[in-house]
Chains A and B, each alone.
Chain A
Amino acid sequence: MSPTCLFTRRHALALLAGVAAASPAQAAALRVATVDWAVLETLLALGVTPVAATELLQFREVAVEPEVPAGVADLGLRGTVNFEMLRLARPDLIFSSSFYVSSEPRMRRIAPLESFSIYARGVQPFAASETMTRAIGERLGVSEAAERYLAETHAEFATLRAKLGRLDGRPVIPINLGDARHFRVFGADSMFGEALARLGIANAWTEATSYSAMAPVGLEALARVPEAWIVLIPPVPPDAMRILAGSVFWNALPNVRQGRLLTLGSINPYGALPAARRFARLLTEALGHAGASGRG
């Protein structure tokens, strides 16, 4: 395929997108469904209530915010989307993500489908989420809300960054305990990693991770980041903290000895901007409470 040919095709696509965006009045009434959680939280954040979404029981527990209105139909597990339920919800448009590539032909039978890929090799999830928010805004005729939300996001990050600037400036290692001996770490290519960068905080985990998180890492790896704040993302296994409290190794870690251990509220690790904001807000609050300025 020649470069010219590629160019014209892109041109045509852009033109089509322009046409689609040009009819907001019609788009505003669209019934949308989503099988992806990152899209779900973005929709809710833009004030759009989808007609159906996946695994709402777990979403309310893990992602917590934004709140899901009662009328949204549950499509079952993210791994096994209930297509019948999706069909019966009669959406005009379905949002999907790269996790569902193999199911796309079937979903296209129900309604036109738009897919985003935020968590994929070589993709920066924060920038991808911004692009996605804008794209959803344009597609649904709520561009204003999308731009407002993006501006709010930037403003919130700026405010939080200023607050954090007054604190101790130590790096942070965001982890999720698997049991009392292993953790999953979120690296530079994760949403948490990107949020840290935008807050002006260094991520203490500098090794490569793939698809945003690396698991499992033996707990002894924490000895390599003695300066960092250890930030635990729930769920924390029920017996882990009890076992760790009695562990010589754990208690010898400078971070733990000097109180640099925080547990945040539950956050969706594969979320979009709302999850990034929730992480940034909870982290700033927790660091502030822990009196990060007092030590150093």
Chain B
Amino acid sequence: MASVVPTPRIAAIWFLPVLAIALLFAAVIATRPPLAGDPAVTLVLERILLWHSLVPRFVTALLCGAALGLSGALLQRVLRNPIADPSTLGIASGAQLALTIATAYAPALIAFSREGVAFGGGIAAVTIVLALSWRRGLDPVTVVLSGMVLSLVAAALSATVILAKGEYVLSLFIWGAGSLNQQSWDAAIALGPRLILGCIAAALLLRPLALLGLDDSGARSLGLALHSARFLVLAIAVWLAATVTAEVGVIGFVGLAAPALARFAGARRMRDVLIASPFIGAILLSLTDSAVQLLGSGTADLAPTGAATALLGGPILLWMLRRVPLTIPPQANLPHGPLRRIARPWLAAAGLALVAALLAILALVAGRGPDGWNLATGSLFLDLLPFRAPRIVAAGTAGAMLGAAGTLMQRLTANPLAGPEVLGVSAGGGVGLAVMLMLTPGMEPLHLLLGAVAGSLAVILAMLLLASRPGFGPTRLLLAGVAMGALCMAIVSTVLAQGDMRSYALLLWMSGSTNRVGDFEAWTGVVACLALISPLFLFSRWLDILPLGEGMSGSIGLSRRASRLTLATFAAVLTGLASLLIGPLSLIGLIAPHLARLAGFAHGRHQLAAAVLIGCATMVLADWLSRVVAFPYQVPVGLFAALIGGPYLIWLLSRAGPHHG
């Protein structure tokens, strides 16, 4: 790799951070509580602790940071995407899911090669993400959205595997957030040569990499086998990130922040970014790791390092948004051509209502018992009713509320990919829930409800505030939502890492289980549906006018600010209530309005009605399936819906459309 020209200014830029990490590391060593006991024994142990735990940890942090920084820089270059990194592309979650599944069901694979398993998972994730955005020319927004949705689904799957294996606390902790504790040089020895290989490969690919910055046509005319060069660079980046995940767990967003900071510090040419990113990544991770050790108790860290970096990642991503080139937003791709319109929408809606009712009856009557499948009638029906009815009602009403909230958000942002889950509003509800669990002693349903609603409201107001800033188009709003969601989930996973009753309650919430739902929650759902969804039909004129654009709605004489704020508040309250019932991952709020639109419900009020009914019917069906699929063991319904919703969303993103770039 070519060396940086040592001008005084560059020397000053590098000197301060290096001094900072050295000082912090010295502080970590100096503040360790001394070992007690026989000095002859402790002297040897102190030396071993220093050379086989503290120093390797320091070196591992530097190496992991550098590997992630390089991986991020390579990914951003090869995908021409300033917000690509191992976390936003789903590589880290994919690797971690593979490790979780292998640990639970195929321990022999783990014993054979952790790194291999992690690489397999990472490659699978990135392949899915890229294959799906291939036809959209690897458009940055599509790639990152697919990656983040994939991460969500992977997180839900991991949570379920952990719940199913019972001994959740410890494995969850190691799954959720990377920890850099070391007692040997193994991780450093594994990472060092791989990092050097990665650097050499990057240096060799410097020229092709520079060409990758050009248009496909420009690069091809220069005689470069574009796809193979891309694939090679991509494989190196994934391998680096997967190795880090296999050695220390998920360390979020360092790969995103390092190249961004490099560009911020003035690196313009690709060569400079590639050289600076690993250094900045190393410094970032080292600073974070020393900080969690210094703020911890001496034997235990304050928080896992991976959780701490994830907390930094959200704000950095938000700050980065201004640098994302405004490509054609994904909706340009969605159903083009004249949409089929239903001739008699209210009749069709009545049909949907009938389907929902039939599904509810099926769910009430059909089930499995100790002796196999049965239809509950008579006294058996009355026996089971108190247990089946609340969960069916809760699932159905939550689906309806999410359908309504999704319609509002899609209309508000004029973006058919907006939804309570994608915009981070559901995850915001989770943060509210977590705060309530920390602050209040009992787990009072009413407190949890208020917490979830307040959290959702805070996120949606932040989103609207961002969206109201000049030049903040629908595309940036989506990304801001994704960033906000990542930030909120990082806070949630820090609470999860506490490993006590509250973590258990949060884990159950995250997987979205309706099993724990009782009469209170069911009635909450019913009342909320009636009180919050029916008034929306009064605003249906706003729904039709708002998406027309600012100029138009202004000239029609609609107070834009007031109408937006009203609708957004409704959407937030609906989302908060629904996510309390079925968790943050269902993706129903995205799918239901979409299906309604595809089915031909074009007007605001028709789409709203159809989305509510579709959301309701889908969740009732998902709840029933989750109840009977593995009887008597139950799959959390939120996860079950995410397994339907995730692939649908990704398919939606990948739909062929006009190429650009």
CB pair B163–A239 under 8 Å, yes or no, is: no
Give the chain A neighbours of B171 by CB distance below 8 A: 178
Partner of A215, one of B110, B170, B508, B634: B170
In Å, the complex CA distance between A99 and B168 comes to 15
Q: Contacts of B37 on A, CB cut-off 8 Å?
A: 226-227
Contact of B166 among A55, A213, A214, A216 (CB under 8 A): A55
**A176 — which chain B residues lie within 8 A by C-beta?**
170
CB atoms of B48 and A74 under 8 A apart: no
Q: Who on chain B is nearest to A89 by CB?
A: B370
A214 to B445: give the CA distance in the assembly, Å: 28
Residues of A within 8 A of B299 (CB): 207, 217-218, 221, 224
B183 lies within 8 A of A239 (CB): no
Interchain CA distance A58-B162 in the complex, whole Å: 13
Chain A interface secondary structure, helix, strand, loop or mixed?
mixed
Query: Interface residue count for B (Cβ, 8 Å)?
Result: 67
Which chain A residues numbered 156 to 208 have a C-beta less than 8 Å away from chain B?
Answer: 176, 178-179, 181-182, 184, 207
B224 within 8 A of A: no
Q: Determine if A1 is an interface residue (Cβ-Cβ < 8 Å).
A: no
Chain B residue numbers with a CB within 8 Å of A89 are 370
B102 to chain A, nearest CB (A): 9
Assess whether B634 is in contact with A80, with CB atoms less than 8 Å apart.
Answer: yes
- Kindly list chain B residues whose C-beta atoms are within 8 Å of the C-beta of A5: none
Residue A247 at the chain B interface, CB threshold 8 Å: yes
Contact A88 B369 (CB under 8 A): yes
**In whole angstroms, how far apart are the Cα atoms of A102 and B437 in the complex?**
13
Shortest A123–chain B CB gap in Å is 13
Interface: B122 (CB within 8 A): no
- Residues in A whose Cβ lies below 8 Å from that of B518: 102-103, 105-106
A237 is an interface residue with CB less than 8 A from chain B: yes
Closest-CB distance, B644 to chain A (whole angstroms)? 19
Instruction: Please report the C-alpha to C-alpha distance between residue A239 and residue B505 in the assembled complex, in whole angstroms.
Output: 30
Pick out which of these stretches binds chain B: A39-47, A139-147, A249-257, A285-293: A249-257
Q: Are B41 and A242 in contact (CB under 8 A)?
A: no
Point out the residues of chain A lying under 8 angstroms from B167, CB to CB.
Answer: 62, 235
Complex Cα distance, B516 from A184, in Å, reads 29
Select A248's contact among B48, B505, B627, beta carbons within 8 Å: B48
Residues in B whose Cβ lies below 8 Å from that of A178: 170-171, 173-174
Residues of chain A within 8 A of B505, CB atoms compared: 102
Contacts of B632 in A (CB 8 A): 73-76, 82, 85
Known contacts A77-B634, A220-B49, A254-B41; is-contact A182 B166 (Cβ 8 Å): no
Chain B residues lying within 8 Å of A184, measured Cβ to Cβ, are 169-170
Give the residue of B111, B174, B369, B633 whose beta carbon is less than 8 angstroms from that of A238.
Answer: B111
Q: Counting CB contacts under 8 A, is A211 at the interface?
A: yes
The answer to whether B516 and A238 have CB atoms under 8 Å apart is no
A223 part of interface (Cβ distance < 8 Å): yes
Q: Is A124 close to B, CB under 8 A?
A: no
Query: Is residue B387 contacting chain A, with contact meaning CB distance below 8 A?
Result: yes
Q: Which residues of A contact B516 (CB under 8 A)?
A: 80, 102-103
A217 to B298, CA, bound (A): 11
Most buried by B among A105, A207, A216, A226: A216
- Which B residues, 224 to 278, have Cβ-Cβ distances below 8 Å to chain A? none
CA distance in complex: A62, B167 (Å):
10
Interface residue A10 (Cβ < 8 Å from any Cβ of B) = no
A153 to chain B: closest CB distance in Å?
26
> Which one of A102, A215, A224, A254 contacts B443 once the chains associate, using CB atoms below 8 Å?
A102
B295 at the interface (CB under 8 A from A): no
- List chain B residues, Cβ under 8 A from A216: 170, 173-174, 179
Say if the beta carbon of A15 comes within 8 Å of chain B.
no
Q: How far is the CA of A79 from the CA of B159 in the complex (A)?
A: 12
**B564 on the interface (CB 8 Å rule)?**
no
Q: Which residue of A lies closest to B368 (CB)?
A: A84
Q: Find B173's partner among A82, A99, A215 (CB 8 Å cutoff).
A: A215
B179 in contact with A79 (CB, 8 Å): no
- Does A101 make an interface contact (CB < 8 A)? yes
**With A249-B184, A252-B44, A254-B41 as given contacts, are A223 and B35 in contact (CB-CB < 8 Å)?**
yes
Q: Is residue B80 contacting chain A, with contact meaning CB distance below 8 A?
A: no
Q: Which residues of chain A have C-beta atoms less than 8 A from B53's C-beta?
A: 218, 220, 223, 249
Q: Within 8 Å CB of A81, what residues of B?
A: 515
Shortest distance in angstroms between B166's beta carbon and chain A's nearest beta carbon?
5
B246–chain A nearest beta-carbon distance, Å: 11
User: Which residues of B30-50 have CB atoms within 8 Å of chain A's CB atoms?
Assistant: 35-37, 41-42, 44-45, 48-49
Contact status A237-B103, CB under 8 Å: yes
Interface 9-mer from B279-287, B416-424, B496-504: B496-504
A254 and B36 alpha carbons, distance in the complex (Å):
14
Nearest-Cβ distance from residue A162 to partner chain B, whole angstroms: 29
- Which residues 82-130 of A sit at the B interface, judged by CB distance below 8 A? 82-85, 87-89, 99, 101-103, 105-106, 109
Give CA–CA (A247, B297) in the complex, Å.
25
Say yes or no: is B455 at the interface (Cβ < 8 Å to chain A).
no
A213 to B499 CA separation, bound complex (whole angstroms): 9
Instruction: Give A99 to B508 CA distance when docked, in angstroms.
Output: 12
A263 touches B (CB below 8 Å):
no
Is the C-beta of B636 less than 8 angstroms from some C-beta in chain A? yes
Whether A250 and B183, one on each chain, are in contact in the complex, defined by CB atoms closer than 8 angstroms, is yes
Instruction: Quote the shortest CB–CB distance from B635 to chain A (angstroms).
Output: 9
Give the residue of B166, B174, B387 whose beta carbon is less than 8 angstroms from that of A179.
B174
Q: Is the CB of B181 within 8 A of A239?
A: no
CB-CB < 8 A to A235: which residues of B?
A: 167
Contacts of B367 in A (CB 8 A): 84
B52 in the interface, Cβ–Cβ < 8 Å? yes
Whether, in the assembled complex, A210 has its beta carbon less than 8 Å from a beta carbon of chain B, the answer is yes
B166: A residues at CB distance < 8 A = 55, 58, 62, 77-78
Distance between B35 CB and nearest chain A CB, rounded to angstroms: 6
Mark contacts of B89-128 with chain A using CB atoms, 8 A cut-off: 1 yes-contact digit, 0 otherwise: 0000000000000010001101100100000000000000
Besides A84-B627, A101-B443, A220-B181, 10 more A-B contacts (Cβ < 8 Å) are A77-B163, A182-B174, A207-B297, A216-B173, A221-B299, A223-B53, A226-B45, A246-B184, A249-B184, A252-B52
* 10 A-B residue pairs with CB within 8 Å: A58-B166, A80-B163, A82-B633, A84-B388, A87-B383, A181-B182, A216-B179, A218-B301, A223-B49, A250-B184
* Interface residue ranges, A against B (CB under 8 Å): 55, 58, 62, 73-85, 87-89, 99, 101-103, 105-106, 109, 176, 178-179, 181-182, 184, 207, 210-211, 213-221, 223-224, 226-227, 235, 237-239, 242-243, 246-250, 252-254
B interface vs A, CB < 8 Å?
Answer: 35-37, 41-42, 44-45, 48-49, 52-53, 103, 107-108, 110-111, 114, 163-167, 169-171, 173-174, 179, 181-186, 297, 299-301, 367, 369-370, 383-384, 386-388, 442-443, 445, 499-501, 504-505, 507-508, 513, 515-516, 518-519, 627, 631-634, 636
